[in-house]
C-alpha cells in the first residue's frame, strides 16, 4: 500500500510546495496573492513545511520594509518528487 | 472503471501553471538590467573616444564596477517589487558575474597590469565575453533577441580586431544596438518574454 506524505498531502501545502518548486524564491505577499490564501492560513502551512525542513525561510529588510521569502530545500524537493511519483502510481493503477 | 476527470494533483498543477503564465512577462525591471549595462558601456566607449585625459583602464574599470553595483541594486529592487525570483534570474545573474570575472582577469589583469596585449585590443576581448554573456542570457531566459545580440557581439569583436583604430566606435555602435536597442524592442514588443509554453 502506498503511504502518501501527510505533510504534502493537503491542498494548501501542496500548492505552496509546487509554487516554490517552480520558482527560485518567492516572498510572503506573492504567495498570498497568487494562491489567494489569508495571512493566517499561509502562515500556518508555511510553519508546518518549515518544521518538516521542506522550505527555507529568509527574513530581511529591503529598504526599510521587512521582507520574508521562501525557498524549497533539497529535502522538500525530494519529498515533492516522491509524492508526485506516488500519485502517478495511483493514477496509473486506476487508469486515470 | 469509471474515469476520474478531476484529480487532486492535476488541479494543483494547473493553478501553479496559471501563476507561472502570469509572471512570465518581460518586465521593465528585467529590461533595466540590460539597459544599465548598455548605458555604462556606451558611456565608457564615449569617454574613451573623446580622448579625455583619463587613463582608459580607469574608465573601463569604473564602468565594470558601476555596472555590477547597478545590477545588484536593480536585482534587489526587482525582487522587492515582483516578490519572486525565477530560476532564469538566478542563471542570468550567475552568468553575468562569471562574465565580469572573466573580463577582470583577462582584460584588466592580463592587459592592463601585465601588458600582455595592446590596449586597443581590450575592447575586442571584452566584446567576446560580453557576447558570450548575452548569448547565454538569451539561451537561459529563452530570449531570441539576446541570442542574436550575443552573435552580433562576436562579429563586432572580429571587426574591432580588423579595424583596430575604430574599435571603440564599433563597440559603441554595437552597444547602442544590442544592449539598448534590442532591450527596448524586447520590452515594448513584449515578444521575447520568457516562453514557458
Closest chain B residue to A23, measured at CA: B86
Residue A81 has pLDDT above 50, yes or no: yes
Residue B58 has pLDDT above 70, yes or no: yes
Contact status of A22 with chain B (Cβ, < 8 Å): yes
The pLDDT of residue B25: 67
Contact at CB, B79 and A25, closer than 8 angstroms = yes
- Chain A residues with CB under 8 Å of B12 CB are 11, 14-15, 18
- Distance (Å) from the alpha carbon of B131 to chain A's nearest alpha carbon: 26
- Residues A19 and A13: their CA atoms lie apart, in Å, by 10
Nearest to B1 among A24, A84, A95 (CB): A95
The mean pLDDT value for B181-193 works out to 73
- Chain A residues with CB under 8 Å of B89 CB are 24
pLDDT tens for each residue of A37-67? 999 999 999 999 999 999 999 998 877 888 8
pLDDT-based confidence at B196, cuts 50/70/90? very low
pLDDT tens for each residue of B11-26? 788 888 888 887 766 6
Residue B193 has pLDDT above 70, yes or no: no
Instruction: Find residues 71-110 of chain B whose CB sits inside 8 Å of chain A.
Output: 76, 79-80, 82-87, 89-90
The pLDDT of residue B65: 87
The pLDDT of residue A39: 93
Task: Look up the pTM and report it.
Answer: 0.75
Residue B2 has pLDDT above 50, yes or no: no
The pLDDT of residue B1: 40
**Could you give the dihedral angle defined by the CA atoms of residues B45, B46, B50 and B53, in that order, rounded to the nearest 10 degrees?**
-60
Q: Between chain A and chain B, how many beta carbons pairs sit less than 8 Å apart?
A: 65
Candidate from B5-9, B35-39, B170-174 with smallest mean pLDDT: B5-9
pLDDT tens for each residue of A84-96? 988 888 877 776 6
Residue B10 has pLDDT above 80, yes or no: no
The pLDDT of residue A96: 60
pLDDT-based confidence at B190, cuts 50/70/90? low
Amino acid at each position: 500500500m502506498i503511504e502518501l506524505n501527510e505533510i504534502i498531502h493537503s491542498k494548501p501545502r501542496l500548492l505552496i510546495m509546487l509554487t516554490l518548486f517552480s520558482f527560485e524564491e518567492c516572498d510572503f505577499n506573492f504567495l498570498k496573492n497568487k494562491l489567494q490564501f489569508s495571512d493566517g492560513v499561509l502562515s500556518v502551512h508555511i510553519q508546518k513545511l518549515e518544521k518538516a525542513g521542506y522550505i527555507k525561510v529568509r527574513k530581511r529588510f529591503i529598504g526599510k520594509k521587512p521582507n520574508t521569502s521562501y525557498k524549497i530545500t533539497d529535502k522538500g524537493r525530494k519529498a515533492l518528487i516522491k509524492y508526485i511519483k506516488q500519485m502517478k502510481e495511483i493514477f496509473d493503477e486506476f487508469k486515470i | 472503471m469509471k474515469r476520474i476527470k478531476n484529480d487532486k494533483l492535476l488541479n494543483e498543477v494547473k493553478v501553479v501553471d496559471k501563476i507561472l503564465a502570469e509572471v512570465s512577462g518581460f518586465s521593465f525591471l528585467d529590461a533595466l538590467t540590460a539597459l544599465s549595462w548598455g548605458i555604462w558601456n556606451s558611456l565608457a566607449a564615449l569617454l574613451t573616444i573623446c580622448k579625455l585625459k583619463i587613463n582608459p583602464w580607469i574608465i573601463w574599470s569604473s564602468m565594470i564596477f558601476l555596472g555590477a553595483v547597478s545590477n545588484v541594486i536593480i536585482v534587489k529592487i526587482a525582487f522587492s517589487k515582483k516578490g519572486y525570483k525565477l530560476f532564469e534570474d538566478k542563471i542570468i545573474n550567475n552568468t553575468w558575474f562569471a562574465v565580469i570575472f572573466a573580463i577582470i582577469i583577462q582584460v584588466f589583469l592580463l592587459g592592463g597590469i601585465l601588458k600582455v596585449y595592446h590596449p586597443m585590443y581590450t575592447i575586442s576581448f571584452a566584446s567576446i565575453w560580453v557576447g558570450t554573456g548575452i548569448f547565454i542570457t538569451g539561451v537561459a531566459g529563452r530570449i531570441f533577441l539576446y541570442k542574436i545580440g550575443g552573435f552580433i557581439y562576436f562579429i563586432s569583436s572580429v571587426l574591432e580586431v580588423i579595424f583596430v583604430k575604430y574599435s571603440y566606435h564599433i563597440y559603441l555602435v554595437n552597444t547602442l544596438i544590442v544592449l539598448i536597442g534590442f532591450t527596448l524592442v524586447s520590452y515594448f514588443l513584449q515578444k521575447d518574454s520568457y516562453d514557458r509554453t
